Amino acid sequence: MTDASARLDPHAVVADIDRRIFGGFVEHLGRHIYDGIFEPGHPSADADGFRTDVVALVQELGVSTIRYPGGNFVSGYRWEDGIGPVDQRPRRLDLAWHSTETNEVGLHEFQQWLDLVGSDLMLAVNLGTRGTQEALDVLEYANSDATTAWTDRRAANGHPEPFAVKMWCLGNEMDGPWQIGHKNADDYGKLASQTAKAMRMLDPGVELVVCGSSGRSMPTFGSWERTVLEHSFDDVDFISCHSYYQELGGDAQEFLASGVDMAKFIESVVAIADSVAASRKSDKRIMISFDEWNVWYLHREDGGQNNAPEEEGWPVAPRLLEDQYHALDAVVFGDLLITLLQHADRVRSASLAQLVNVIAPIMTEPGGPAWRQTTFFPFSITSRLAGDRAVRVPVDAGTFTSEKLGEVATVNAVATLDDEGASLFVVNRSTTDATELRVDLAPLTAGLGRDLALVESHLLHEDDWYAANTLEEPERVGVRALEGAVVDGSTLVLPLPAVSWAAVRLA
């Protein structure tokens, strides 16, 4: 066992935490909506066809704001298809995922589901095949309290009061050649600026997210952000980041460095945004909406991609992107959450992509059960235990060498504070060594004027890193109390096995 040390100083505050950092993402993709959240005839379905077993799991997950309806899907979506009598809605071909969209679930139904799970709506508009006018139409339909043709239709469709959607995404991944209506940075920046200005004329209170790069490895990364913000800086509040991670070539140690890559991505985008601000002599700070992040086994070992349905033709709700997550994935996932909290001063919104069946923490079987994947646990525990303020917790620990990222600390941690105490989230990235982490609590107890006790602890670790929860064994992997965790005087002692994620609450 190796040794590591840290200090929990209440003055090392990063920022107050915006709860939207614990957001999610629901896209019309695969079995996410149909057979996922919506399955009329399922034993648990309510009168509107929503699976109540899934509702309960999403509530447990603790998701704040949910981005909808895409994703790649939105760049070909006609939002009007999803309103009005369900039996009169058109079936459409979805080019993004080579599927047929029935439009049984649209804006009204999705808001009903959000009301059940207790989450807020974050809407994306189509700037791929559509433009400013269509964005204005859906904004007027959703948010206006005036009497107009669109609001009359909203009332006739059962929602006389505005939906009052606060956050809006100006398209999706417009830097990606795979995107329907893909644009270069100059053209997209002009369209985003024009659309944002018009939307603010209709509803000055909206918060707008402009598309950043769909990955740090994109060839246009950096130049895309700069060009887009030079056009839209005055018009938007957020720029998006998207990033997915997977183990490649059986290199678990390299995979465990994923949080460092995410941190570099965030810090690079912040630097570019602040550079644009400086060139304009502006005190405005563009925030980051990290509105797609997860572990995703997109790239197969043979070089192919897992992003097309197996069925021929244009299937409805095919099994697509249904990754099975193991314990190693969950440890990396927990580290990504730590990284987001470490950057809470600029990451003010984030969306786990996605929630049900599609690269998801929750899985379902048609007519059968719903269960938690391994990645469910770090998210549900972090969203529940995280307090009001994020606090830096520098760790003095050993390192390993990443081929892509250089020297990487074996232990990573962040804390949150509130009036009742503190929560600490920590990961041991080493594939070989257990570590005893000793955290000096003296600055914290002095600041609070009272001692703290360890009231709960959680460990996610499996000797078999590739253990997973499945339909046959839905509870194979879980969390348990962190054995040996103790407060010894003013020191918190945490014994961390290799490849593990842990959380503790001090109160």
Out of 39, 140, 292, 462, the active site residue is: 292
Bridge-partner residues for 151, per DSSP? Answer: none
The pTM (predicted TM-score) of the whole model is 0.97
Rounded Cα distance, 507 and 453, in Å: 6
Residue 201: which of 253, 255, 267, 143 has the closest Cα? Answer: 143
- Domain boundary assignment for the chain: 2-9+392-506, 20-385
Amino acid at 346: R
Task: Convert 238-263 to b/e letters by CB count within 10 Å (16 or more is b).
Answer: bbbbbbbbebeeeebbbbbbbbbbbb
Sheet holding 500-506, edge to edge: 13-16, 389-392, 411-418, 421-428, 500-506, 454-460
- State yes or no: is 403 an active-site residue: no
Residue 179 sits at φ, ψ, to 5 deg, of -80, 130
Crossing angle of the two packed helices 327-342 and 376-385, in degrees rounded to 10: 30
pLDDT the model gives residue 121: 98
Q: What is the pLDDT of residues 182-195, one digit of tens each?
A: 999 999 999 999 99
Out of 173, 247, 254, 462, the active site residue is: 173
pLDDT the model gives residue 242: 98
Q: Is the separation of the CB atoms in 343 and 263 below 8 Å?
A: yes
Bridge-partner residues for 461, per DSSP? Answer: none
pLDDT the model gives residue 298: 87
pLDDT the model gives residue 311: 81
Amino acid at 445: T
Q: Is the separation of the CB atoms in 17 and 390 below 8 Å?
A: yes
Residue 106: which of 141, 144, 151 has the closest Cα? Answer: 141
- State yes or no: is 173 an active-site residue: yes
Q: Is the separation of the CB atoms in 289 and 23 below 8 Å?
A: no
Domain spanning 2-9+392-506, CATH class: mainly beta
pLDDT beneath 70, residues of the chain: 300-306
Q: Which two tokens stand for residue 15?
A: 């920022």
Q: What is the pLDDT of residues 144-181, one digit of tens each?
A: 999 999 999 999 999 999 999 999 999 999 999 999 99
pLDDT the model gives residue 280: 97
Residue 21 DSSP code: G
Superfamily of domain 20-385: Glycosidases (3.20.20.80)
Rounded Cα distance, 192 and 335, in Å: 33
